Amino acid sequence: MRPPVSSRLRPRSAAALVAVAALALSGLTACGSSAGSGDTAAAPSKLTVWIMRDSVSDSFLQRFRADYEGAHQGTTLDVQIQEWDGIGQKITSALASKDAPDVIEVGNTQVAQYAASGGVQDLSDKVDDLQGKDWIPGLAEPGKIDGKQYGIPWYAANRVVIYNKDLFAQAGITTPPKTRDEWIADTTKLNTGGNDGIYLSGQTWYALAGFVWDEGGDLAAKGADGKWTGTLDTPQAKAGMAFYQQLQALGSGPKDSDEAKPLQAEVFAKGRSAQVLSTPGGAAAILKANPALKDKLGFFPIPGKSADKPGAVFTGGSDLVIPESSRHQAAAYEVVKALAGDTWQSAMAKEMSYVPNRTSLAGVLSGDPGASAMAAGAVNGHATPNSPNWAAVEANNPIKQYMTQVLTGADPAVAGKTASEAITKALNSTS
């Protein structure tokens, strides 16, 4: 499930990212297991498309609908907005029915869950047509299950560093850091005079995941036998956690809660924190709490281990899927192709400050500092382990517990082993 990007940058199985708004599309006839196999000779009179609330603006969808209907005479797009609350069960039920919508927006990390039901069309033969080699990895990978592409990347969002320009200037820092070492050095300079070098809670686990990915590790791994194993006890995960601990210590963020308790935007808005990790849309919440910070906020990609590559980030966003029971699958694919194509990707990126689905389109965000930093970081985007059971991990989140334990003095090896066992159990559950 994925709340509005501004609050969500969390995987879509439990949700993920920044800024948003929405509308949708509706109804068809005849079914089939491959694109076009269920279409009648005549063009459909109506296509049903479900779009999640606050994903895109009403004006964007109105323009898209008018343009699409103008180019496809005889076709009507019935755009239907869906609420995030309860959407998982609603989509699952729709996929099992004989009268599903024709196109559905789903959170990118929810694709595995829905594909496991057998009700989502395999679109692997459309990847080349959609320029899939250019897709952002962290958005494309969750849509690909066991080598088959079920989800078509629509848009993405990821975290960046939002910083206070005045505090950087006072510390004599004129250029944002590009490497981890530079980041630690600058944050140390900023952590003086009663200021926090960075506000980072102890349980911001998406940030930890990025550091673990940078080390070549992951949160879990799938074996040749199809079984999953939690991997927070690996050397790579320990190295990622060690960096997190070093960075988190350069501020006064709580060790036993996440970025929502207290709301990090409100803490940053007090003007004493130099940096915070957030999607660019988090700047709006900061300015709402303290309008005096207008023009004082800057953005840069999370630094990587070397200057030639930004730090790894969790890529939240949405994919588009076509149900097997769509009655006009070929026509549904044309809707997906249009929404995922150059024209509407560029328009959506500019209007919504999203990262478009292809790396070659990142330039459309050049006039937006926050979105540009986000697009720069997106090239090293990743997703949570691609399991339909990932939501079960987040439900009792052993990663958060592991982080707090390490930050409060527990042996990382012992805490990592306990967390890994919990992840393993959740991912391999058949209930």
Q: Can you give the pLDDT of all 431 residues of the chain as single tens digits?
A: 344 443 344 444 333 333 333 333 333 222 333 334 445 435 678 999 999 998 999 999 999 999 999 999 999 999 999 998 889 899 999 999 998 999 999 999 899 999 999 999 999 999 999 999 999 988 899 999 999 999 999 999 999 999 999 999 999 999 999 999 999 999 999 999 999 999 999 999 999 999 999 999 999 999 999 999 999 999 999 999 999 999 999 999 999 999 999 999 999 999 999 999 999 989 999 999 999 999 999 999 999 999 999 999 999 999 999 999 999 999 999 999 999 999 999 999 999 989 999 999 999 999 899 999 999 999 999 999 999 999 899 989 999 999 999 999 999 999 999 999 999 999 998 75
Local structure of 304: helix, strand or coil? strand
Q: Could you identify the residue written with the tokens 């409060």?
A: 408
Residues 381 and 383: their CA atoms lie apart, in Å, by: 7
DSSP states along 172-232: T--S---BHHHHHHHHHHHS-TT-BS-B--TT-HHHHHHHHHHTT--SEEE-TTS-EEE-T
Under 8 Å between Cβ of 26 and 322: no
Residues 234 and 95: their CA atoms lie apart, in Å, by: 38
Local structure of 37: helix, strand or coil? coil
- Give 18's DSSP letter: S
Tokens at residue 209, please?
Answer: 């995941």
Residues 408 and 401: their CA atoms lie apart, in Å, by: 11
Query: Looking at this protein, which amino acid is placed at residue 429?
Result: S
- β-pairing, 316-321 vs 228-230, is unpaired
Query: What is the location of CATH 3.40.190.10 in the chain?
Result: 5-157+316-382, 160-313+386-427
Question: In this predicted structure, what is the pLDDT of residue 43?
Answer: 62
Residues 313 and 88: their CA atoms lie apart, in Å, by: 25
Residues 368 and 275: their CA atoms lie apart, in Å, by: 19
Neighbours of 140 (CB within 10 A): 25
Local structure of 323: helix, strand or coil? strand
Residues 109 and 312: their CA atoms lie apart, in Å, by: 17
Residues 395 and 114: their CA atoms lie apart, in Å, by: 18
CATH architecture of 5-157+316-382: 3-Layer(aba) Sandwich (3.40)
Homologous superfamily in CATH for domain 160-313+386-427 = Periplasmic binding protein-like II (3.40.190.10)
How would you class 165 by CB atoms within 10 Å of its CB: exposed for 0-12, middle for 13-18, buried for 19 or more? middle
